[in-house]
A = this chain, B = another copy of it.
Amino acid sequence: MDFTVDSATPAVSASFGATPDPRLRELMQMLTRHLHDFVREASPSIEEWNSAIAFLTEVGHRCSETRQEFILLSDVLGVSMLVETINGQDSGTESTVLGPFHMTESPRRTLGDSIDMVGGGHTCVVTGEVRSTSGRPLPGATVDVWQCTEDGFYDVQQPDVQPPGNGRGLFTTDEYGRYRFRTVVPSHYPIPTDGPVGRLLDATGRHPYRPAHVHFLVSADGHEEVTTHAFVAGSAYTDSDAVFAVKKQLLVDFARCADADLAARHGVEAPFVLAEFDVVLQERA
């Protein structure tokens, strides 16, 4: 009957035995087992346990309408990527983290529009096809994109500088399943470092940077939805993304293009940067 290092897990697990929802029961019993295994192996002092409680409390207090420090913590521990990878489609475009900046609705825009509402960056055209794993193009697919500026900030991080919706757009693919929009080349950037997760990175000798990327959330009728990035190939930190989100398949050539005819077709002036990123969705079973 006594609570001991050995009896702890069966005792706590049994306490969850009458959980009406079988999935919640399973999750709480798994959590208990793995959490206790960690505590037994780590054998923390009372002071270390106090530090952990204080850290989690500070992470919670740092969360607000515009900041999600627990997602950051999940990100830097590789948990977000693990969950995304587990839930990713079996074939087609690989998924990667949603990240903490998909907090506002992207403004609906027309194909070819610019998502850059402040101007002044290097003009970039991003275009590609959304198709099914069978090869069939998917007209009417929804392509939600968001990215930071050339200075490495999302609109929500700079409400005084960027209008809401800057760097964001919600597009619908054309009759050929294609999307295209104008933007600026995004920059690598640090995840927010002025909170407890930033302090953790600092204390563990880790840098806070993410390689440059454009976020994509793509969906089409009858297909799996994909959360992913187009990473700027050759960007700093593609080998050491602070949130572990890089996959080889998602490295995209953001190529300098001097072709005046091609520029004209995209409604921009040469030279410009052109990125081609197709997204392949798996048909729903």
Cβ of A19 within 8 Å of any chain B Cβ, yes or no, is yes
On chain B, the residues within 8 Å of A205 by CB distance are 18-20
Q: Is A246 an interface residue (CB 8 A)?
A: yes
Q: Do B85 and A248 touch (CB < 8 A)?
A: no
Q: A1 at the A/B interface (Cβ < 8 Å)?
A: yes
A214 at the B interface (CB under 8 A): no
Q: Could you tell me if A42 and B70 are in contact, using CB atoms closer than 8 angstroms?
A: no
Does A32 lie within 8 Å of B78, measured CB to CB?
A: yes
Q: A203-B24, A247-B2 are in contact. Are A12 and B59 (CB under 8 A)?
A: no
Pairwise interchain contact A8-B81, C-beta atoms closer than 8 A: yes
Instruction: Tell me the chain A residues, 61-81 only, with Cβ under 8 Å from chain B.
Output: 61, 63, 68, 70-71, 74, 77-81
**A79 contact set on B, CB distance < 8 A:** 35-36, 39, 49
Instruction: State whether B246 touches A21 (Cβ < 8 A).
Output: no
Q: Interface residues of A, CB < 8 Å — how many?
A: 73
A91 is an interface residue with CB less than 8 A from chain B: no
CA distance A248 to B12 in the complex (A): 17
Expressed in whole angstroms, the Cα–Cα distance for A53 and B100 within the complex equals: 12
Known contacts A2-B248, A35-B34, A244-B11; is-contact A18 B204 (Cβ 8 Å): yes
Quick check: B206 and A78 within 8 Å, CB to CB? no
Instruction: Judge if A118 is at the interface, Cβ distance under 8 Å.
Output: no
| Contacts A16-B204, A71-B53 given; does A37 touch B34 at CB 8 Å | yes
A270 within 8 A of B: no
Binary interface profile of A, 8-35, with partner B (CB < 8 Å = 1, else 0)? 1101100110111100111110111011
Q: In chain B, what residue has the closest Cβ to A38?
A: B34
The answer to whether B244 and A8 touch across the interface, beta carbons within 8 angstroms, is yes
Query: For residues 39 through 67 of chain A, which have their beta carbon under 8 Å from a beta carbon of chain B?
Result: 39-46, 48-49, 53, 56-61, 63
Given contacts A8-B85, A203-B19, contact A3 B57 (CB under 8 A): no
Selected contact of A57 from candidates B53, B68, B84, B203, CB within 8 Å = B68
Across the interface, which residues of B come within 8 angstroms of A247, CB to CB? 2-3
Extra A-B contacts (20), CB below 8 Å, given A53-B71, A56-B60: A2-B248, A3-B85, A3-B245, A8-B85, A12-B78, A16-B204, A19-B204, A21-B203, A24-B203, A24-B204, A30-B38, A31-B38, A34-B38, A34-B41, A39-B82, A40-B86, A44-B86, A56-B59, A59-B60, A60-B60
